[in-house]
Amino acid sequence: MRSFKKILVTGGAGFIGSHVIRYLLNEHSDLSIVNLDALTYAGNLDNLKDVAGCDNYTFVKGNICNKELVEGLFSEHQFDAVIHLAAESHVDRSIENPMAFLETNIMGTAVLLNAALDVWSTSGMEGKLFYHVSTDEVYGSLGDTGLFTETTAYDPRSPYSASKASSDHIVRAYHHTYGLPVVISNCSNNYGSHQYPEKLIPLMIGNIVDGKSLPIYGEGINVRDWLYVEDHASAIDTILHKGKTGHTYNIGGLNEWRNIDIVKRLIKLVDYEMGRQEGASLNLISFVKDRAGHDVRYAIDASKLCDELGWKPSVTFEEGVLRTVKWYLENR
């Protein structure tokens, strides 16, 4: 089992990143973390206000594409690990502005890899790790049956998923070409507190509260596997310390849901919490033109992570979504 002294977390002010930083600091008292985040629209330092004063936590505002900044941080702090979460991540935005996704997700990853390689080639690769956090969307779309495994062929369908697939390949190339110690994880859809409200669950919660339309793509039959963000943080911690160098691990919540069924469950929960009659907001549902290239179904086989490293999700979707609804209602 590995141990680390100082870790660079990129994108740590975002939804998943903030949960990962909080989890690591709570679990490893001897660990120091530097959080590099550009604080774009989805980044928010309030996500980490509870750890902002910790002696072993440092925030640096900056872009991972800034070569001089990244190299300077590596030189100053001599990180022994990187958890790379910084990314443009919204499919709709990638369709509208693909170049921003290609720059951040591909070139930003390359900048980080080069900085790690330069420093670790001098100080030694032993005990170092570059952990690249990716998505199940790189695998494309499933039919009604089957699961994505670590050996599923890549088949990205959107500029977002293509940019993440590219960065996955670049990370693996640095491992095979230069001997850089890396691991990659591909996760399913995350949900939980602190998520920017452009994503399905927080968007729908807010619209239900405000009595606004609940737009659902197509017929709402697209299926996603949902992973509670705190379970994702614990999986990342497990892979960071126990994952095999050069390996990929799929992280899933074992929770497949159709979009329409998620929205109906959110309506039921929010209406109840707000003292409304059950189903009062069902009439807010509206079906809109499907997203271009919309994948039909994602589902993750996380058995490698569970069997080899001993991880398993601890929060059911029913429990997690109730916690999520209550958090958004309390943090409007």
The three-class DSSP label of residue 81 is: strand
Question: 37, 80, 88, 136: which one is catalytic?
Answer: 136
Cα–Cα distance, 219 to 125 (Å, whole number): 50
What element of type H or E holds 10?
strand 6-10
Cα–Cα distance, 107 to 170 (Å, whole number): 10
Q: To 10 degrees, what angle do helices 317-330 and 259-273 make?
A: 50
Say if residues 23 and 9 touch (Cβ distance below 8 Å): no
Question: 23, 131, 139, 160: which one is catalytic?
Answer: 160
Q: Tokens at residue 84, please?
A: 């790379």
Cα–Cα distance, 219 to 216 (Å, whole number): 7
Tokens 């399913």 correspond to 188
136 is catalytic: yes
Which of 237, 166, 187 shows the shortest CA–CA distance to 3?
237
Cα–Cα distance, 156 to 299 (Å, whole number): 15
137 is catalytic: yes
Question: 37, 80, 88, 137: which one is catalytic?
Answer: 137
Which residues are part of the catalytic machinery?
Answer: 136-137, 160
